[in-house]
């Protein structure tokens, strides 16, 4: 099949071929480079280069953000192909293209969740408040950005990559499969909408395939290693068996519902081995570590790895405490439009299930039914009367928060179903918030308007 693709693509002039590449062609460059890796045949390497879409690659090579107006998930796989090409050929231009692309998307086209795209496309850089649509955050985009990030971490083991990866995993991948196994296309960010899922027989989207794959590989990328260290990138209950090193490590945690992560050495490594634990960007109160109940004095800095060296033996226990704190994520194009976060978790205001039916939740192509007159929820203001949940308590009349970084929510007592619960602060009606990934079958708002911002 690849021989056919090679022969066919050679039948076009360069200009004609670039016109062909305007059509969505996914990861053809990655597939070609992978076949080159398997066979060593330079024919397939050259085919990988032939699938370079110059409209996208040339601006990125110059570190220019020309993504506006382009289809998002058409182009992310091309970047995975670029980094794969670098891994196999050492072409530093392709490394720069992949790095520039990830930085541009992460810094200028990303919601608080880590997700990207609205209506499947990219728009003006830093346009967030203006892009809170029913078709925001295509799930495939996050799947592919996570895949690209794994490759980039392999070249640059920087904690910032998994700060980004963790955001997408917890906020765009978790919570996108329902109790019937149906999957989502978009994670709507329009205030007052709801999650929609595919149907068993009438919807099979690209996001159905990537969603199924994502849930089948939740153990992916928890650990990486170099010649002498284990990198702990994600806080997920798991067992590591590094056979070449003889190390067996068991991670126990209820993160993110709790802040303690415990590592037990079930088999000691045959050589000195460091355990490097990621200290996330959100760990503003630091992190503490103890080995066999003996505290370590090492200072933890955010977006870095805390290196733990010890003459390991079976039965050793490492305890890591990473306190989670509330913080605010502001839309760069409107500082009053804000999202509540707790550690890496995006919180959503619960707005009840009034007016929802199964036919609305199991939609063919994402949210379609919503009230046009429903405006963005405003902190310290009541919902319109028809949105007030039954038996909702009133809040105490306290002064509203003021200032760009003021925290307008606080943690409350959780429940078995929702261990992490929060409520808004200020005058008027009190709204309840829970992690976005736990929202199902109800309306919600991720972004709200804080009119106390000046």
SS3 51: coil
Q: Mean pLDDT throughout 197-208?
A: 88
268 band by pLDDT with thresholds 50, 70 and 90: very high
pLDDT at 359: 84
pLDDT at 371: 42
Chain centroid, CA 395 distance in Å: 33
Residue % of the chain over a pLDDT of 90: 80
pLDDT in tens, 81-91: 999 999 999 99
Domain residue ranges in the chain: 2-219, 224-321, 326-449
pLDDT at 452: 67
pLDDT in tens, 108-162: 999 999 999 999 999 999 999 999 999 999 999 999 999 999 999 999 999 999 9
Q: Please, what is the end-to-end C-alpha distance for the chain in angstroms? A: 60
| Six-digit token string for 358 | 């199964």
pLDDT in tens, 4-29: 999 999 999 999 999 999 999 989 99
Helix H or strand E segment including 429: none
204 band by pLDDT with thresholds 50, 70 and 90: confident
pTM of the model: 0.91
Q: 53 to each of 74, 99, 354, how far by Cα in Å?
A: 11, 17, 47
Q: Measure the CA–CA gap between 101 and 78, rounded to whole angstroms.
A: 10
Whether domain 224-321 has CATH 3.30.200: no
pLDDT at 374 over 50: no
Evaluate the CA torsion angle 88, 92, 97, 99 in order and state its sign: positive
pLDDT at 426: 77
pLDDT at 262: 98
pLDDT at 446 over 60: yes
pLDDT at 383 over 50: no
Which candidate, 73, 83, 78, 64, places its Cα nearest to that of 29? 78
Pairing of strands 274-279, 229-232: parallel
């Amino acid at each position: 099949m690849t021989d056919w693709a090679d022969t066919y693509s050679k039948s076009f002039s360069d200009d004609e071929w670039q016109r062909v590449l305007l059509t969505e062609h996914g990861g053809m460059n990655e597939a070609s480079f992978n076949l080159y890796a398997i066979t060593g045949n330079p024919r397939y390497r050259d085919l990988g280069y032939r699938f370079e879409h110059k409209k996208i690659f040339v601006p990125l090579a110059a570190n220019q953000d020309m993504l506006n107006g382009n289809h998002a998930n058409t182009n992310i796989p091309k970047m995975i192909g670029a980094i794969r090409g670098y891994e196999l050929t050492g072409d530093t231009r392709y490394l720069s293209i992949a790095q520039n692309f990830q930085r541009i998307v992460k810094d200028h086209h990303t919601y608080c969740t880590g997700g990207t795209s609205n209506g499947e496309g990219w728009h003006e850089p830093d346009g967030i408040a203006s892009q809170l649509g029913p078709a925001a955050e295509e799930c495939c985009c996050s799947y592919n950005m996570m895949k690209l990030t794994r490759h980039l971490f392999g070249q640059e083991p920087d904690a910032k990559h998994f700060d980004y990866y963790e955001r997408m995993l917890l906020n765009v991948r978790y919570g996108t499969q329902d109790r019937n196994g149906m999957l989502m296309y978009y994670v709507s960010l329009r205030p007052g909408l709801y999650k929609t899922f595919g149907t068993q027989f009438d919807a099979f989207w690209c996001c159905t395939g990537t969603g199924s794959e994502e849930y089948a590989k939740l153990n992916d990328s928890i650990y990486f290693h170099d010649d002498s260290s284990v990198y702990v990138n994600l806080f997920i209950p798991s067992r590591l068996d590094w056979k070449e090193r003889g190390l067996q490590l068991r991670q126990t945690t209820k993160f993110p519902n709790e802040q303690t992560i415990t590592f037990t050495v079930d088999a000691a490594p045959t050589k000195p081995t460091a355990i490097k634990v990621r200290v996330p960007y959100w760990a503003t109160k630091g992190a503490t570590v103890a080995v066999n109940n003996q505290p370590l004095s090492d200072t933890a800095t955010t977006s870095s790895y805390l290196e733990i060296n010890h003459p390991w033996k079976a039965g050793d226990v490492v305890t890591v405490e990473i306190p989670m704190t509330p913080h605010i994520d502001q839309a760069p194009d409107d500082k009053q439009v804000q999202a509540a976060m707790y550690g890496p978790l995006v919180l959503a205001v619960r707005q009840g299930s009034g007016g929802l039916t199964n036919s609305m939740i199991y939609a063919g192509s994402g949210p379609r039914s919503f009230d046009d007159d429903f405006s963005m929820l405003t902190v310290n203001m009541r919902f319109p009367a028809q949105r007030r949940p039954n038996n909702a308590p009133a809040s105490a009349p306290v002064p509203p928060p003021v200032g760009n970084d003021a925290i307008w929510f606080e943690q409350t007592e959780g429940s078995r179903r929702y261990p992490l619960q929060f409520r808004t602060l200020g005058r008027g009606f009190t709204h309840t918030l829970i992690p976005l990934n736990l929202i199902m079958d109800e309306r919600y708002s991720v972004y709200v308007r804080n009119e106390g911002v000046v």
